[in-house]
Amino acid sequence: MSNDLATAIARSAEGFRADSARARVTFRADSALQQGFHSEVKLRDHQLTVDEPKGIGGSDQGPTPVELVLAALGSCQEITYRAFATAMGIALDGVSARVEGDIDFRGFFAIDPTVRPGFGALRVNITLRSRASEAEIAQLIAAVNSHCPVLDMLNTPVPTTLQTTVVVD
């Protein structure tokens, strides 16, 4: 683990303790449908293509929105493990995630009103490479699962405001 990362984490945490207003940040994604189900998404200085598989009408130019949820959860777990292992001084040589989600498309396609359109279940398998003791690993797992932002968003409803603007050309 690089000392630079440990220093950055410690410095950030201290800054947030000293000034809680600095800890509050708004993230933003701008997305525009291109053709069919293909969307282009801008996140800060990054561009992302999102699409659906050909089998359900997409052109398969990128991952689906629900696959991005899986990726967000897995990568957020990995990042949170790294941050907390570093902050807690726990040896962590590597972390990887496999996230699977079950979806029944009858919900999305409005075929069965009793079927939810989103995931019905998620399974997350985290693999840690570490020489740490069982007690340290247990503390790390508890810290990560209590502080992973994406896990929190999936487990606890987030108040969401939707606004639709209609433009007539």
Q: Residue type at 46?
A: H
Looking at residue 51, its amino acid is D
Could you name the CATH architecture of 64-158?
2-Layer Sandwich (3.30)
Query: What pLDDT score was predicted for residue 9?
Result: 86
Report CA-CA distances (Å) from 93 to 6, 77, 81, 99, 148. Answer: 14, 15, 11, 20, 19
Total count of residues recorded for the chain:
169
pLDDT in tens, 25-79: 999 999 999 999 999 999 999 999 999 999 999 999 999 999 999 999 999 999 9
Could you give the CA distance from residue 117 to residue 109 in angstroms, rounded to a whole number? 8
What is the sign, positive or negative, of the torsion defined by CA atoms of 20, 12, 160, 101? Answer: negative
User: In the chain, what is the straight-line distance between the N-terminal and C-terminal CA atoms, in Å?
Assistant: 55
107-158: pLDDT as tens digits: 999 999 999 999 999 999 999 999 999 999 999 999 999 999 999 999 999 9
Residue 1 has pLDDT above 70, yes or no: no
The helix (H) or strand (E) run that includes residue 43 is strand 38-43
- Does residue 83 register a pLDDT over 60? yes
Q: What pLDDT is stored for residue 6 in this prediction? A: 84
Number of Cβ within a 10 Å radius of residue 45? 5
Residue ranges of domains in the chain: 1-62, 64-158
pLDDT at residue 2 in the model? 61
